[in-house]
Amino acid sequence: MIEIQDLAKTFTLHNQGGAVIRVMEGATLSVARGECVALTGASGAGKSTLMRMIYGNYRAASGVIRVGGVDVAQAEPREIIALRRETLGYVSQFLRVVPRVPTIDVVADPLRALGIPAEQARTRAADLLRLLNIPETLWSLSPTTFSGGEQQRVNIARGFAHPYPALLLDEPTASLDATNRAVVLALIEEAKARGAAMVGIFHDEAARARVCDREIDVSAFTPGLAA
């Protein structure tokens, strides 16, 4: 489902005399349906960079990133938007939302974007918010003032609202208490069972051991910082 071949990434530091740093070379990995793969490696090895390239936020210097039928490394912006709508979800650590949109709609939005009727989308959103222990009194409020853990749970609800065939998970249990952490791990296990291919960064080692089938150490793809 996710196939990465010989991927390379450089950053050009325009404010530092145009210095070019090579941060990744020869990255090759594949993630099958129903599989959850953890990216590991020391701080600065390139885990976040690889995730951002798969999501199409960072442009690859060379190589192939195939998600479903799309090569993200070559895709046009509109193809990436369609991929994100239908195929590839991203549960990031931090919530980024349009101000003043009620929490229930923040979670229902990805389903509305797929043409699912408002009531049905809201029902699914409500089920997830309840599962993730977000009090119903908060559903009509914007999540911008919520606590870190509440925002992360809204983000998780939004990320799991649509059954994406592929999902990126950036520390999905980072600021959660034991009860909610268990809920998130169960959601990940359910997604695996329905055949989702997942790639994640998990600093929570016990969570990683429970839900991940394999680990890939991205240090193997780090060329060093010299250009």
Ligand X SMILES: Nc1ncnc2c1ncn2[C@@H]1O[C@H](COP(=O)(O)OP(=O)(O)OP(=O)(O)O)[C@@H](O)[C@H]1O
Binding-site member from 29, 41, 134, 143 for ligand X (CB under 6 A): 41
For ligand X, the closer of residues 107 and 201 by Cβ is 201
Give residue 187's region: left, alpha or beta (phi > 0; psi -120 to 50).
Answer: alpha
How far, CA to CA in Å, does 120 sit from each of 33, 43, 162? 27, 42, 12
- Selected range binding ligand X among 25-33, 38-46, 66-74, 113-121, rule: CB under 6 A: 38-46
The span from the CA of 97 to the CA of 159, in Å, is 13
Binding-site member from 10, 11, 86, 146 for ligand X (CB under 6 A): 11
For ligand X, the closer of residues 140 and 219 by Cβ is 219
> By three-state DSSP, how is residue 139 classified?
coil
Compute the least distance from the CB of residue 51 to ligand X, in Å: 8
- Selected range binding ligand X among 44-52, 77-85, 90-98, 108-116, rule: CB under 6 A: 44-52
- DSSP string computed for 40-58: E-STTSSHHHHHHHHHTSS
The span from the CA of 191 to the CA of 187, in Å, is 6
| 200 interacts with ligand X by CB under 6 A | no
Residues that bind ligand X (CB under 6 A): 11, 23, 41, 43-49
